[in-house]
Structure 1
Amino acid sequence: MKIFWITDCETFYPLKGKAYLGKEGKQPEKNLGQKVVMELSAPYKYTNRNITNDNFFTSLQLAVALRANGLTLVGTLRKNKPFIPNEFLPSRQRHVHSAVFGFQKDITLV
């Protein structure tokens, strides 16, 4: 059993939780991370707040969906995500502690 939480960033107080008891049926769950974030952030629509999460939850689809609900997203990414351009993948040619920035409309990838 897992419990997913949305918490306040200043007080670390849990605001809402969702219990996950495993997949339902025989089919693997798809987009679980996005579903969880959208459900837990629903009470904060159009408040211009930021949602911060780790790489299990972060995706381009989630960023677009949250932006449509008046929220922003900051999160880490796994390097195997298909929407990450090759220029952003680890490279021996790039200097240590350097960064690459990419912009598309109101989405920034670093």
Structure 2
Amino acid sequence: MDDKTLHPNRRQQDPFIPIRKVWDMFIAQCKMNYSPGSNVTIDEQLLGFRGRCPFRMYIPNKPNKYATNTNVLPQGEYYFKELSQPVHGSNRNITCNNWFTSIPAAKSLLLEPYKLTVVGTVRSNKRETPEELKNSRSRPVGTSMFCFDGPLTLASYKPKPSKMVYMLSSCGEDAAINLTTGKPEIIMFYNQTKGGVDTFD
């Protein structure tokens, strides 16, 4: 561990400085010893902590209300880009939940230096979600709707009368429906690539 008296200025810029060297060595070993496939997954796990910590943040709508602060970007997009750094520019797909997924982030990640596609769930209150895709009493259970914006596909699926599932893909998906389940293929792909992470959690 580092001696905090040796780097008072660096400690202000980097709250992680007491364990920075060990942490960087650990991350470097992870990158060297694991080769991801064409599909990877990003997920978050919020752990409650009430001790002294200079980089926690209060989130009132969470059961454990403290998490790390970020800079200008929305938290989800910031951490997506941070966590995916080892695969930037690799044209891989990253599956994630609605904490990370947004249309602005998906568009940004298609470009250099990221060159990544995204498949993820979307929160119903996102302003980019058209009203036509949202739930209505007249909409039958089991129906799907799609809208397209270049390589982006936004899908809504109604599994129950009072429930809607929203999915975003930047893979240039079409309006394909799985013939066995009746669900959009975007949902099937999401379940295949993220199910293991959800089971682990």
Q: What's the TM-score once normalised by structure 1's chain length?
A: 0.72
Higher helix proportion: 2
Runs of 4+ off more than 3 Å:
none
Encode CA deviations 1:13-64: one digit per residue, 9 max, x unaligned: x9xxxxxx423xxxx7560110000111122122111111111111111101
Note if 1:22 corresponds to 2:67. no
Structure 1 residue runs without a partner (length 5+): 1-7, 15-20
How many corresponding residue pairs? 92
Note if 1:93 corresponds to 2:127. no
Query: 1:9–1:87: structure 2 CA closer, same or farther, 3 Å change rule?
Result: farther
CA distance in 1, matches of 2:94, 2:56: 24
The percentage of counterpart residues that share the same residue type is 37
Equivalent position SS for 2:153: strand
2:74 to 31, 34, 52: 31
Q: Which amino acid aligns with 2:121?
A: T
C-alpha deviation, 1:97, in angstroms:
1.0
1:54 to 97, 112, 116: 97
Q: Which amino acid aligns with 2:101?
A: T
CA distance in 1, matches of 2:88, 2:37: 17
Q: What's the TM-score once normalised by structure 2's chain length?
A: 0.41
- Give the structure, 1 or 2, with the largest relative contact order (CA under 8 Å, sep 6 or more): 1
Query: 1:9–1:93: structure 2 CA closer, same or farther, 3 Å change rule?
Result: farther
Equivalent position SS for 1:37: helix
